[in-house]
Amino acid sequence: MSFVSHQLRCIGSGERIAPDAVSSDFRDPATGELYEVEYSWSETRGDAAAPRPNAQALRHLWAERRDSTLPIDASGVWRYRDLLPILKDENNAVTLREGNTPLYDLPRTSKLLGLDFLLTKHQGMNPTGSFKDTGMTTALSVAAERGYKWVACASTGNTSAAMAAYAARAGLRAIVFIPEGKIAWGKLSQSMDYGALTVQLKTDFDGCVKLLTEIVRKNPIYLLNSVNPYRLEGQKTPAIEICEQLDWQVPDHVIVPGGNLANGSALGKGFTELKHLGFIDRVPKISVIQAAGANPLFQWFTNEEKQLHPVTADTRATAIRIGNPASWRKAARVIEATGGWCEQADENEIAVAKAQIGAEGIGCEPASAVTLAGLKKLLKSGHVQTGERVVLLLTGHTLKDPEYTIDFHKDLLATDVAEAAPYRRPPLVLDANESSVMRALEAEMAGSL
């Protein structure tokens, strides 16, 4: 792997720059647009003569690495490092053995929806409990290799948890900006546990981004928000892992939540590269689901406008409580290029979907549940057919936000829809004697007959 084997390409102008020439905010000063990582074999290079990774050989190599005890082989991100040569020296990879996440079926939900094939890719099973680990291992490794002592991010919670953990592993200092009062406790506690300097700002996520961008411009601090294109190189690897887990059979439709919109973009890059290199013969449709209270991309799609109008975000799915998503243009291109769709889910729909996933013994955080809520709508509108093979990306672990789950079961979420009632399991407070317990148990047994 070699440093010069990649460059950064502005997604607006197509102009290319050397990796070390990038500005601190990862935006092209001329266009204001983001960059993507480009390799000599990338489709955008249009260089048919460039040596290409060999799909056949790599499938074998990646399978072999599963038996290796080397940390970078055991990582479900770095195992695929041949398609992400972003480090000068692969020994600089900072890994917590991320990736390697399971595909679970949802038998009851599939039946309810009339689908034959419905799987979830549970990215909440990563080391810090969200998919952010897959992108943090790559981008933070770049920061470490380039000699940065400090890394920073603005976060709705999961990015800060992941960054704090990987920074601690690498011996770097981390500073986290989070919106005060709008973050789930599980995530906030992780940032502190892993030793980051945690700053709660009296603003929303979008306000945190603005301030942090100013600070990294003036200080030697490496920005690890998802504007950093190396995050997406790690976040594209679940696309590879899904194909590998399905024995290189491509699903028809992949559905992801949309917040800052990097994750859907990254998965699109992953699938597209796999097709370009001949690993797979087509790409799945990629659809993005936003919370109705934080839906600028959904609005852009339905209004057929050329400019994105930021919104003031409001949803209890805090991971996607983002009104001005940085990667919206990348995501919009992925949706359009793959034939996917953009949908929104309201608070009731999110709550019911989360309870349904929980009732299958899987569980996820509210932001992940928008995928199932969105799938129901895509089925109704005909954008997903019942014969299609569908994969939902579950982005975060249920323990990230236990308060939300408890509020749902105690009926404090104001989800007064009939669909929610069968899933509610509030804790019972009973006298400590056999008869009161038996009364409750008998009532429950009678109810489930």
Ligand X SMILES: *Cc1c(COP(=O)(O)O)cnc(C)c1O
Q: Which stretch binds ligand X (CB under 6 A): 113-121, 255-263, 303-311, 348-356?
A: 255-263
Rank residues 358 and 396 by Cβ distance to ligand X and give the closer one.
Answer: 396
Number of C-beta neighbours around residue 437 at 10 A: 13
Q: Can residue 344 be called a binding residue for ligand X (CB under 6 A)?
A: no
Q: Give the CB-nearest residue to ligand X.
A: 396
Can you tell me which of 37, 125, 208, 262 binds ligand X, judged by CB under 6 A?
262
Span 315-334, contacts to ligand X by CB under 6 A: 319-320
Burial class (CB in 10 A: 0-12, 13-18, 19+), 58: middle
Supply angle C-alpha 204, 209, 212, rounded to 5: 120
Distance separating alpha carbons of residues 410 and 426, to the nearest angstrom = 5
At 103 the three-state DSSP class reads: strand
Number of chain residues interacting with ligand X (CB under 6 A): 18
Q: Can residue 257 be called a binding residue for ligand X (CB under 6 A)?
A: yes
Q: Which stretch binds ligand X (CB under 6 A): 103-111, 273-281, 353-361, 365-373?
A: 365-373
Span 391-430, contacts to ligand X by CB under 6 A: 395-396
Q: Can residue 365 be called a binding residue for ligand X (CB under 6 A)?
A: yes
Shortest reach from residue 318's CB to ligand X, in Å: 9
Distance separating alpha carbons of residues 329 and 264, to the nearest angstrom = 11
Q: Which stretch binds ligand X (CB under 6 A): 20-28, 251-259, 354-362, 424-432?
A: 251-259
Q: Can residue 75 be called a binding residue for ligand X (CB under 6 A)?
A: no
Torsion of CA 204, 402, 353, 413, to 10 degrees: -70
Rank residues 74 and 297 by Cβ distance to ligand X and give the closer one.
Answer: 297
Span 113-132, contacts to ligand X by CB under 6 A: 130, 132
Can you tell me which of 75, 260, 287, 344 binds ligand X, judged by CB under 6 A?
260
CB 163 within 8 A of CB 176: yes
Alpha helices in 114-236 (DSSP H): 132-145, 158-170, 185-193, 205-218, 229-235
Residue 352 falls in which region: left (phi positive, over 0), alpha (psi -120 to 50) or beta: alpha
Distance separating alpha carbons of residues 211 and 193, to the nearest angstrom = 24
CB 315 within 8 A of CB 291: yes
Distance separating alpha carbons of residues 358 and 353, to the nearest angstrom = 9
Q: Can residue 261 be called a binding residue for ligand X (CB under 6 A)?
A: yes
Can you tell me which of 42, 75, 226, 415 binds ligand X, judged by CB under 6 A?
226
Beta partners for residue 150, in sequence order: 173, 221
Q: Can residue 293 be called a binding residue for ligand X (CB under 6 A)?
A: no
Q: Can residue 363 be called a binding residue for ligand X (CB under 6 A)?
A: no
Can you tell me which of 7, 128, 158, 190 binds ligand X, judged by CB under 6 A?
158
Q: Which stretch binds ligand X (CB under 6 A): 253-261, 293-301, 302-310, 336-344?
A: 253-261
Rank residues 154 and 283 by Cβ distance to ligand X and give the closer one.
Answer: 154
Shortest reach from residue 449's CB to ligand X, in Å: 37
Shortest reach from residue 329's CB to ligand X, in Å: 13
Give rounded-to-5 percent helix, strand, coil for the chain.
Answer: 45, 15, 40
Shortest reach from residue 160's CB to ligand X, in Å: 10
- With a CB cutoff of 8 Å and minimum separation 6, the contacts of 235 are 131, 134, 135, 226, 262, 263, 266, 267, 270
Q: Of 350, 351, 348, 343, which Cα lies nearest the Cα of 377?
A: 343
Can you tell me which of 225, 237, 344, 368 binds ligand X, judged by CB under 6 A?
368
Contact set with ligand X (CB under 6 A): 130, 132, 158, 226, 257-263, 319-320, 365, 367-368, 395-396
